Amino acid sequence: MAVVTMKNLLESGVHFGHQVKRWDPRMKKFIFAERNGIHIIDLQKTIQAIKDAYDAVRKTVAAGKTVLFVGTKKQAQQAVQKEAERCGMYYVNNRWLGGMLTNFVTIKKSLLRLKKLEKMEVDGTFENLTKKEISGLGKERIKLQKNLGGIKEMKELPGIMFVIDTRKEAIAVAEAQRMGIPIVAVVDTNCNPDGINYPIPGNDDAIRAITLFTQIIANAVVEADNEVGLKIIETLGDDDEDMEGLLNDMSMKEEDMEIDIEKYSTEEAYRALKEAEENDENDDDEEDRIQVDVDKVYNDE
């Protein structure tokens, strides 16, 4: 199954670049032609780049790591939040706070503060505060939620980062590069693809194009999660078969060792009990498997 088709890209306007005068010469290898003063992106290279990025994200998630979606421009905010939540990953769609990756220890403190404020709001703490104090804490919570809500549950640095518009998110890109985090990014004709691990040449301004790219990355995450789920199910299936075989073996041993009192006379039953006790001294593990009702033996006598 194809990750994306040429028709999808054309319908979303992925092939439209910026004006010729605004281009970055380092994007020359991704440009197909010029039409009416606009650069046209080579969609054949875009498709190949999407496949490479898709595989990279899928393998990263399958290895147990996370993906951070970054897109703070207005056209990208809604798509980034929607798709990141759909695949259960983290996102930043309002503002990139300096140090989110390079100073994550400090960011963690802000995340803990956000969680504490949310807890105070529901556990009745606000009832003991004045209106002014409640108002101040409420504003603080809203501000933290706006900037950090998408990474509230992030415990460690992501395994890979997906970026819309590397020019606008230059600080995020620089931090990821410094921390050695692989970057998947949509690069328009005015962007610099150097330093991006998986550059995807395409329109990073049109809402439909941004939505398409974000959906593709989210689909890679979902597919990886499904693969992991299938592996777990298959492993559990194998464990069930092994356990069933083990139980069958154990039940056979129990049947072999079981003593049916009704088939013995009192003397024979007592002798069988003695033999069982002697065998039990040699192997303590078999103690629970010997089923002899001593009281019944003496009552029958």
**∠ CA 43-49-51, rounded to 5°:** 110
pLDDT of 272 above 70: no
Question: Are the C-beta atoms of 14 and 43 separated by less than 8 Å?
Answer: yes
pLDDT > 70 in the chain, percent: 75
Output the pLDDT for position 251.
46
Question: Are the C-beta atoms of 72 and 93 separated by less than 8 Å?
Answer: yes
Listed residue (88, 89, 90) closest to 100, CA to CA: 90
Task: Report, in this order, helix, strand and coil percent for the chain, each rounded to 5.
Answer: 60, 10, 25
Output the pLDDT for position 129.
83
pLDDT of 288 above 80: no
Domains and CATH numbers, the chain: 6-101+157-231 (3.40.50.10490), 258-301 (no CATH)
By mean pLDDT, which of 34-48, 51-65, 169-183, 255-269 is the weakest? 255-269
187: exposed, middle or buried (C-beta count within 10 Å: 0-12, 13-18, 19+)?
A: buried
Reported as a single tens digit per residue, the pLDDT across 75-104 is 999 999 999 999 999 999 999 998 999 999
Residues 6 or more apart whose CB falls under 8 angstroms from that of 225 comprise 61, 87, 88
Question: Are the C-beta atoms of 3 and 13 separated by less than 8 Å?
Answer: no
Reported as a single tens digit per residue, the pLDDT across 112-132 is 999 998 888 888 777 788 888
Listed residue (86, 89, 97, 36) closest to 65, CA to CA: 89
pLDDT of 287 above 60: no
How does the average pLDDT of the chain come out, rounded? 81
Looking at the DSSP bridge assignments, the partners of residue 199 are 185
Q: Mean pLDDT, to the nearest integer, of 165-177? A: 95
Reported as a single tens digit per residue, the pLDDT across 204-254 is 999 999 999 999 999 999 999 887 766 656 555 555 555 455 445 544 443
Question: Are the C-beta atoms of 179 and 85 separated by less than 8 Å?
Answer: no
Task: Identify which has the larger pLDDT, 231 or 15.
Answer: 15
- For the record, the structure tokens of 180 come out as 């050695």
By mean pLDDT, which of 8-12, 19-23, 270-274, 292-296 is the weakest? 292-296
- For the record, the structure tokens of 223 come out as 């597919």
Output the pLDDT for position 125.
79
Strand, helix or coil at 100?
coil
Counting Cα atoms < 13 Å in the Cβ hemisphere of 242 gives 6
Listed residue (55, 48, 86) closest to 69, CA to CA: 86
Output the pLDDT for position 264.
39
- For the record, the structure tokens of 3 come out as 């990750």
**∠ CA 51-54-58, rounded to 5°:** 140
pLDDT > 90 in the chain, percent: 63
